[in-house]
């Protein structure tokens, strides 16, 4: 039995831990909250002020930022979705097929191929980016979204293959065997039996791929060069470069909009994030 003194000391300690954790949380999130509120501030209030809420609310920074350039942000959002959604869908389909092959079949060189697949997780993108660029240039794919979509058709994201293999390995083999006896072929088994069970894993994969592709900057910068095809990342950087010294609130407003889809997905689908990372034990 704990003495009263010990108990109260424990209570104090726990309270301190909660306070520290909460402060850290505020500290972590505050920049984002500040960004949101600052997009309603006048430009000279963004710098040199501690206030979170604007003294004088500027309502049109979103409108002006949206329409600031030669093209509106509507186009840039549309472009980003046109790039991201096919990449996500192709990644899901191709990674599922490949993961199924690795998890459920035996074939020659399987061990070696699996090791190669896993080791490409560690292959630095920087090493292959130049020949890839030359290759895509030769294919005539520059300034299109093909450098993003075509590799995803060919399961070039080993992270997701690995993640789905891990999930598939957790499904009992008896399921496959009884279906085989019933005369189903392997593809029917995949579609009818595995995919419904894989739903949470597929959902995790979709979310991760969406966010990573949405946030991608380096590849977009290299492959896309006409403003008409710019994604959000490129558009933001362009606004930052071209902004006459006084348009800070517009840039913050557009930055807020740029992170909005990822934040929304995060809040509506949090549990899939944690499951996704925890089962693979990989980056994120």
Partner 1 sequence: MKGHHVTGKKNKRQYTGLLYIMPWILGFLIFQLYPFISSFIYSFTNYNMTSNIKFIGLKNYIDIFTKDSQFYNSLKVTIFYVFMAVPMKLVFAMFIAMVLNIRIKYVNFYRTVYYLPSILGGSVAVAVLWRFLFADNGLVNEILSFFGIPKIGWLSNPKIALFTVSLLTVWQFGSSMVIFLAGLKQIPKELYEAATVDGVSKAGMFFNITLPLLTPIILFNLVMQMIIAFQEFTGSFVITNGGPMKSTYLYAMKLYDEGFLFMKMGYASALSWILFIVIMIFTALIFRSSEYWAYYEDGRQ
What does the block give as tokens for 133?
Answer: 């660029």
Nearest distance from C-beta of residue 227 to partner 1, angstroms: 15
Nearest distance from C-beta of residue 258 to partner 1, angstroms: 4
Nearest distance from C-beta of residue 199 to partner 1, angstroms: 19
Residue 25 or 74: which CB sits closer to partner 1? Answer: 25
Nearest distance from C-beta of residue 208 to partner 1, angstroms: 9
How many whole angstroms separate alpha carbon 155 and alpha carbon 159? Answer: 10
Nearest distance from C-beta of residue 142 to partner 1, angstroms: 11
Residue 54 or 284: which CB sits closer to partner 1? Answer: 284
Nearest distance from C-beta of residue 132 to partner 1, angstroms: 5
């Amino acid at each position: 039995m704990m003495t009263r003194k010990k108990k109260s000391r424990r209570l104090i300690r726990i309270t301190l831990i909660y306070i520290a954790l909460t402060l850290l949380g505020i500290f972590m999130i505050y920049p984002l909250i500040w960004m949101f509120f600052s997009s309603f501030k006048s430009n000279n209030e963004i710098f040199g002020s501690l206030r979170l809420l604007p003294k004088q609310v500027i309502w049109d920074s979103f409108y002006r930022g949206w329409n600031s350039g030669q093209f509106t942000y509507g186009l840039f959002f549309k472009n980003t979705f046109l790039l991201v959604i096919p990449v996500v869908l192709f990644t899901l389909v191709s990674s599922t097929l490949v993961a199924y092959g690795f998890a459920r079949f035996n074939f020659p060189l399987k061990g070696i191929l699996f090791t190669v697949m896993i080791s490409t997780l560690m292959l630095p993108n920087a090493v292959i980016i130049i020949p890839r660029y030359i290759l895509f240039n030769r294919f005539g794919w520059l300034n299109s979204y093909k450098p993003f979509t075509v590799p995803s058709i060919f399961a070039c994201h080993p992270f997701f293959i690995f993640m789905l293999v891990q999930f598939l390995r957790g499904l009992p083999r008896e399921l496959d065997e009884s279906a085989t006896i019933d005369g189903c072929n392997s593809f029917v088994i995949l579609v009818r039996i595995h995919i419904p069970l894989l739903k949470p894993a597929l959902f995790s994969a979709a979310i991760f791929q969406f966010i990573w592709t949405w946030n991608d900057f380096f590849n977009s910068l290299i492959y896309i060069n006409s403003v008409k095809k710019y994604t959000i990342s490129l558009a933001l950087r362009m606004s930052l470069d071209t902004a006459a010294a006084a348009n800070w609130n517009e840039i913050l407003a557009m930055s807020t909009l740029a992170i909005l889809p990822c934040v929304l997905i995060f809040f509506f689908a949090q549990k899939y994030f944690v499951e996704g990372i925890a089962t693979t034990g990989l980056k994120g």
